[in-house]
Amino acid sequence: MIKTIAGTKDTLPIEIYKWHYLENLVRSVMKEFNYKEIRTPIFEETALFSRGIGESTDIVSKEMYTFMDRSETSLTLKPEMTASVVRSVLEHSLDKQQQLNKLYYISPMFRQERPQAGRYRQFHQFGAEALGASEPSLDAEMIILAYDVLKKLGLKSLDIKINSLGIPESREYYKTLLKKYLSDKTVHLSDESKKRLDTNILRIFDSKDETDQKIMEDAPLLLEHLDNDSLEKFERVKELLLLAQVPFEVDPRLVRGLDYYTNTTFEIISNSVGSQSALCGGGRYDLLANHIGDRNIPGVGFAAGIERILLACENENCLSINDENPYVYLIRLNKELVKETYNIGLKFRRAGISVELDYLNRSVKAQMREANRLNTRKALFVGGDEYENGEVVLKDMDTGDQEIIKISQLDGIIKKIKG
Ligand code: AMP
C-alpha cells in the first residue's frame, strides 16, 4: 500500500467546502481592495530563492526541496511566493506598464520542516504583494487585508503584532550595539544563536531557547534606534490601523533578519491553535527587487497559512456548515421511472441547481436516508399517483411542508428556486 509522504496530506471531499469557502472569501476581499491574481510556476531556479529569501534563513539553509533536473539545472519547489512574484514583475516589466502593481496568490508551498500539527511539508498560502510604492498606507493595507479575511471567517482569538525595522543604515548602527550587548554573553547563547551572531544577528530575537530569550529581554531594541523617516512611517501605519479599527500591539522583538527588509513587519497570531500559532506574516521589502533583478521596486506583502487558519476555524467552531450539499434530492418512487427522474434532474442541473439522485437502484426508504445524509434542503418525489396526474411532490426537508407541482410548470418552479 503506497501512502502519502510525511508532512503532506490529501484534502478529502468532506472538508473541501472549507477550502472553497476560504478561497472564495480571499478572492472577494482581494477584489474589494483591487488586487489581481498572479500565478507562478511551482518550481524555479534555486538561485531565485537563495538570493530572494537569503542564504542565512532557515528556509534556504535547511528547508528547501532542491533537486537537479535532467539537464543539471538546480531547481527548487517554491517555499514562499514573494521572490517569485518579484521575479515575475521584473521579468514582464509589469512595473513599467503601471507604477503600482497590487497582486495576490493562493498556492501550495514546499518546505522540508519537521511535520507536526499545523506544520506541513506541502502547505498552502494565500497572500498579497504591492509593488511600486513605499507609502505606509500600503503597509497598513496588508495588515487590514489579512485581518479582514480572518475576521470574515469568524475567527476571534487573534493578536496582531507590528514592528518597524527601519532602513539598513540605522540597522547597521543598531547591530553594532546589539553585538556589544551580547559580547560578554556569547558563551551562554545556544549554538544556533552563536552562529547567528555573524550571519543574522537580529534573528537571535526569534530563538526558542529559554536562555537566549532571557538574554534578549534586556537587549537594546531596534525600534529605539530608528531614523526619523522610518519613525514617521511607522506612526502613519499605526494611525491607519487605528482608523480601520484593527487592534494591534507593537512588538519591538518581531524581526526579520535580512537587509532588504525595511520598515514595517507584522504577524497575526491565533490563540486557538497551540504551538504553531502564527497564521500570517508579512512586511516591507523595498530592497528585494534590486537583489533579485536589475532595478529598485519598493514592495510590501504578507503570506497566510491556509492549513493553520482552517485549524483555528475548527478550534473556534467557524466554517462548520457545509454549504456545498446538493439543493434537492430526487426520490424515484417507481423503479420504471429511471429515465424520467434522470431527465427532471437534468432540468434542475442545467438551470444551475445542484441535484442528486439515485444511481444504485435503492429502495424509496434508502433514497430518503440518502437525502437526509446529504442534508439537502428539498426532496422531490417522482412517481405514484401524482406522477400519473403529471405532478411531482416537493418536500422541504426542514419544515416537512409539501408542495404539489405540475411537471409542465417545473421550469417556473426552478426559476422561483433560483430567485
Ligand atoms: P512565512 O512565509 O514563513 O512568513 O509563513 C507565513 C505563514 O505561512 C505562517 O504564518 C504559517 O501560517 C504558514 N506556514 C509557514 N510554514 C508552514 C508550514 N511548514 N506548514 C504550514 N503552514 C506554514
CATH of the domain at 365: 3.40.50.800
- 85, 142: one domain: yes
Q: Given a cut of 80, is residue 257 above it in pLDDT?
A: no
For residues 338 and 115, what is the distance between their CA atoms, to the nearest angstrom? Answer: 50
pLDDT band, very low/low/confident/very high, at 56 (cuts 50, 70, 90): confident
Tell me phi and psi for residue 416, to 5 degrees. Answer: -65, -45
> Which of 26-30, 112-116, 254-258, 321-325 shows the lowest per-residue confidence on average (mean pLDDT)?
254-258
The tens digit of pLDDT for each residue in 273-304 reads 988 899 999 999 999 999 999 999 999 999 99
What atom in ligand 1 is closest to the CA of residue 304?
Answer: 7
Cα of 315 from ligand 1 centre, angstroms: 18
Cα of 26 from ligand 1 centre, angstroms: 17
Pocket mutation for ligand 1, best pick of 280, 285, 313 (most atoms within 8 Å of C-beta): 280
What atom in ligand 1 is closest to the CA of residue 309?
Answer: 12
- 410, 264: one domain: no
What atom in ligand 1 is closest to the CA of residue 278?
Answer: 10
- 348, 369: one domain: yes
- 301, 413: one domain: no
Give the angle subtended at the CA of 18 by the CAs of 14 and 21, to the nearest 5°: 135
- 29, 110: one domain: yes
Does 214 map to a domain? no
> Could you give the 3-state DSSP secondary structure of residue 307?
helix
148 burial via Cβ count (<10 Å: 0-12, 13-18, 19+): middle
- Positive or negative: CA dihedral 193, 198, 204, 208: negative
For the chain, the average pLDDT equals 95
Contact 51, 85 (CB under 8 A): no
Q: Over pLDDT 90: what percentage of the chain?
A: 88
- What does the chain come to in residues? 419
Range of the domain at 67: 13-167+227-315
Cα of 305 from ligand 1 centre, angstroms: 5
For residues 308 and 51, what is the distance between their CA atoms, to the nearest angstrom? Answer: 27
Does 253 map to a domain? yes
The tens digit of pLDDT for each residue in 309-357 reads 999 999 999 998 888 999 999 999 999 999 999 999 999 999 999 999 9
- 30, 143: one domain: yes
Tell me phi and psi for residue 254, to 5 degrees. Answer: -85, 110
- 383, 244: one domain: no
pLDDT band, very low/low/confident/very high, at 259 (cuts 50, 70, 90): confident
Does 219 map to a domain? no
- 337, 234: one domain: no
DSSP β-ladder status, 262-270 and 74-77: unpaired
Pocket mutation for ligand 1, best pick of 106, 125, 163 (most atoms within 8 Å of C-beta): 125
pTM for the model: 0.94
For residues 223 and 250, what is the distance between their CA atoms, to the nearest angstrom? Answer: 10
Does 208 map to a domain? no
- 125, 155: one domain: yes
DSSP β-ladder status, 43-45 and 66-68: unpaired
For residues 365 and 361, what is the distance between their CA atoms, to the nearest angstrom? Answer: 11
Last residue of a domain, one of 290, 315, 340: 315
Contact 419, 413 (CB under 8 A): no
Lateral strand order in the sheet of 391-396? 355-357, 328-332, 378-382, 391-396, 402-406
DSSP β-ladder status, 328-332 and 158-164: unpaired
- 143, 250: one domain: yes
Check which CATH number belongs to the domain holding 91 and give it: 3.30.930.10
- 120, 260: one domain: yes
The tens digit of pLDDT for each residue in 92-146 reads 999 999 999 999 999 999 999 999 989 999 999 999 999 999 999 999 999 999 9
User: Nearest-CA neighbor of 142 among 25, 312, 308, 303?
Assistant: 303
Quick one: pLDDT at residue 370? 97
What atom in ligand 1 is closest to the CA of residue 113?
Answer: 19
- 264, 373: one domain: no
Q: How many domains does the structure of the chain reveal?
A: 2
